[in-house]
Amino acid sequence: MAANAPLNGHERALYARQIRLPEVGEGGQVKIRDAKVLILGAGGLGSPVALYLASAGVSTLGIADPDKVELSNLHRQIIHGFDTLGLPKTISAAEALLEINPGLQVALHPEGLTLENAESLIGRYDLVVDGTDNFATRFLAADICTLAQKPLVHGSVLRSEGQVGVFLPRVGCYRCVYPVMPDASTVPTCADAGVFGATCGVIGSWMAAEVFAIILGRRVASRLMVVDISAGTSKVLNLARDASCPTCGDQPSILGIEASRYAATVCPPPPSMSATPLEVSIEQSAQLLASATPPLLIDVREPDEARICNIAGARLIPMGMIPERLAEIPQDRLVLIHCHHGGRSLRVTQFLRAKGYAQVSNVQGGINAWSLKIDTTVARY
């Protein structure tokens, strides 16, 4: 079917409930149908994204994933099943998607996103969705999207918490938030720390919703959404282009793709980073705070939470205000970050490390664990 062709009777009937939405209409449904979307990773996040895009009428989907379906995938990668164990994820995903939308054009990229194919592959699509689980691919995809001026929707999950990033051309890219690729050993993975399948569903569905918002022209700014399923909270951080960003700044240093830039061995943390653990237990935190040279403790909860309870001496900087209050956070002493249960504070810790803060650690369990194990007079909520 030619691009921008009017909907036919079958399409009007199939997508009737969606077309009735004032932000969609027939014109919006045509935009959704004609969009070409590349999904990187057919796993926990790529599964719900692909299913919702196909069922909503996107007619061209690219699926890039070099892995095969394994038993440990099935609790969260809902596009696959026992009958596709051992199959390439691209084939397994295509079979499921064509059951939902028989007219879908599925382009399979079983080699995944690589240094050799990244520019040509991303160049074939209007928009990229990144649901991958390794830093090299994330940063490669982000850099190509910035250089090619392609919108990028990014997602990540860990335990019961996740984030969704929307990065639009010229208004803030992935490296504006994470300028340097961290050493993979400094950040736990789902294989190490675990993940709820439902967390993938929430984050993946939100990613799909952001894809539709971009297609329909309803996004004009980059932003980052952080969701804590256990706490039942979400936070939207509005992003702006960083003038010093290495990819989209005033004097960018990344003007093309160089293989060495995406090798883990060339992105080691600063020397003091490896000596400072990513996370410390609540007991270790109490010992450090009671020492002769205590660290700075930063509370990244919201003010209404801090009014309920707090840890003596903590400095309140809500998570959404961290980027604009970096000057208050020293780089020459140990800094501990805490929140309610440890989810938001882990994201802040990762953000600060990406910004070059070497001596920063997350407090596992947050103030809830402090109340249970250290000071029972601290109220719980």
176 is annotated as an active-site residue: no
Residue of 145, 173, 190, 200 with catalytic role: 190
Q: Are 140 and 172 in contact (CB under 8 A)?
A: no
190 is annotated as an active-site residue: yes
Question: Tokens in use for 80?
Answer: 């696959």
Q: Are 29 and 18 in contact (CB under 8 A)?
A: yes
Q: How far is CA 187 from CA 137, 184, 204, 314, in A?
A: 15, 6, 21, 25
- Burial class of 82 by CB neighbour count within 10 A (0 to 12, 13 to 18, 19+): exposed
Q: Measure CA of the first residue to CA of the last residue in the chain; give whole Å.
A: 56
How many other CB atoms are there within 10 angstroms of residue 87's CB atom?
A: 15
Q: Are 298 and 357 in contact (CB under 8 A)?
A: no
Place of tokens 């929430």: 202
For the chain, where are the E strands, in sequence order?
36-40, 60-64, 105-109, 127-130, 152-158, 161-167, 223-228, 233-238, 279-280, 296-299, 315-316, 335-338, 360-363
**What angle do the packed helices 282-289 and 366-373 form, to 10 degrees?**
80
CA 315 to chain centre: 27
Best CA proximity match to 137, nearest among 113, 166, 173: 113
Residue of 173, 245, 248, 339 with catalytic role: 339
Residues 6+ apart with CB under 8 A from 64: 38, 39, 40, 41, 90, 109, 111, 112, 113, 121
Bridge partners, 130 (sequence order): 40, 154
Q: What are phi and psi of 195, to 5 degrees?
A: -160, 140
Best CA proximity match to 50, nearest among 73, 80, 30: 80
Positions marked active-site:
190, 339
